[in-house]
Amino acid sequence: MPSKESKLRNLGKVRSEYVVLYYNSWPESKHLYIQMEFCLQNLRNILEVKPQVFGRQLGQPMDCIEYFISCEILRQILESVQYLHELNPQIIHRDLKPENILIPENVRNGRFVKLRDFGLAVEHRTETKQSHTTNVGTAKYMAPELYQSKYTTRSDIYSLGIMSMELFDIFLE
């Protein structure tokens, strides 16, 4: 499991418009406190109210406005994860889920989606076969290879697929 210090190093390395801003951290009474940018909402909150906001029942098709907004949210999530995967070395988030996709209160530059929670994130060097900690993340969003010891950025892509299904109300039985 990554140490608290390595979590902060990962967070500090990803200062960009795609990631919740990290301001400061300090230890106090055997706890580590992290001061970060305030974001009022996360994608889970949005997914829970989206059908009601657009006046439809679960299972009914989206109208064009809801579909467009869902596409824009997904596009920004994809850009954020692409940013992590294009760093050198790459960063694999390993815990992508709606609760870790935040919506800041003050939208700047048209970006309204930011990633958070880099506690399970690892650096990944493509030129070497690395062994990573297994069984990390949230089960529903975990790629099958996360149950083994070797995985790549594709693990994050699997999580994106599951979130996309939720965003567009695609339910497989």
By annotation, the residues acting in catalysis are 95
Q: How far apart are CA 87 and CA 120, in angstroms?
A: 17
Contact indicator for 93, 118 with CB cutoff of 8 Å: yes
Backbone phi, psi, residue 87, to 5°: -65, 160
Q: How far apart are CA 147 and CA 135, in angstroms?
A: 5
User: CA Rg, the chain, in Å?
Assistant: 17
121-146: string of b/e by CB count within 10 Å (b at 16+)?
A: bbbbeeeeebebeeebbbeebbbeeb
